[in-house]
Amino acid sequence: MTALRIEGLHHVYPDGHRALDGVDLHVREGERVAVLGPNGAGKTTLMLHFAGLLTATEGTVHVGDTPVAKKTLPEIRRRVGIVFQSPDDQLFMPTVADDVGFGPANLGLRGTDLADRVAAALADVGLTDLADRPPHHLSVGQQRRAALAGVLAMRPDIVVCDEPSANLDPASRRDLARILHATAPTLMLVTHDLPYALQLCERAVILDAGRVAADGPTAEILADTALLERHRLELPFGFSLATALEALRP
């Protein structure tokens, strides 16, 4: 089954900048796909189309069999959950629990149904003990998990993460990766962090100048040094792809 289908997608901003130039992308249910590319490649613009936060200039986006359109936005935004790079863009309620419950409450959940949904999402991300804490009192890693809990509480079909590893220490990176492995039904990972893409996603897409430049197994794409160089991507100094793949073996 197809989770996400993008065909001939173009987006031109009001100033005339063409951010997407004919993107075609099909994602199956249960896939974990990393969207890679240099700054200005169109990654964030593409991500915002998944949930109808931007309107296509040309082309179509479908979530499952449902087109992303004005009349379908309530359904689309329930089915596609975006975790933005900055938790400040998502966390705004007095407590973590209030933030996590905001989306389900807007769906009409009340009473024990709402409380159970919030409790389950907080348990998924390991923040049960911090439910009553103000979000701005959390560490960056905890804030990112709280933002993810707010998305998971909506029970989405697709989880989209924008640079989830940014500004995280190694332990927080590892914790978030474990949570995403366990909870995200279909994952779209927008990132510059190539090792994190390898850790989380079997498939990777390189976007450059608003076009899909490569699409294939993440390990194969990261092994192609010339391909990475052409699109201004590089692995960290000293990173061993062979060692990383060995560590990822079951």
Helical residues (DSSP H) of the chain, grouped into ranges: 43-50, 73-79, 96-106, 111-125, 140-152, 170-183, 194-200, 218-223, 225-230, 241-248
Q: Determine the 3-state secondary structure of 68 from DSSP.
A: coil
Which pLDDT score, from 0 to 100, does residue 51 have?
Answer: 93
Judge whether 147 and 91 are in contact, CB under 8 Å. yes
Q: Distance (Å, rounded) from C-alpha 25 to C-alpha 45?
A: 14
Q: Distance (Å, rounded) from C-alpha 233 to C-alpha 193?
A: 9
Which pLDDT score, from 0 to 100, does residue 185 have?
Answer: 86
Q: Which domain holds residue 73?
A: 2-248
Backbone angles phi, psi at 10, to 5 degrees: -120, 145
Distance from chain centroid for Cα 205: 14
For the record, the structure tokens of 246 come out as 């060995």
Nearest one of 247, 248, 204 to 222, comparing CA atoms: 204
We report the CATH number of the domain holding residue 162 as 3.40.50.300
> b or e along 97-130 (b: 16 or more beta carbons within 10 Å of the residue's beta carbon)?
bbbbbbbbeeeebeeeebeebbbebbebbebbeb
Regions in the chain scoring below 70 on pLDDT? none
63-91 tens-digit pLDDT: 999 999 999 999 999 999 999 988 888 88
DSSP string, 130-173: GTTS-GGGS-HHHHHHHHHHHHHTT--SEEEEESTTTT--HHHH
126-135 tens-digit pLDDT: 999 999 999 9
Which pLDDT score, from 0 to 100, does residue 240 have?
Answer: 86
Domain count, the chain: 1
Distance from chain centroid for Cα 23: 18
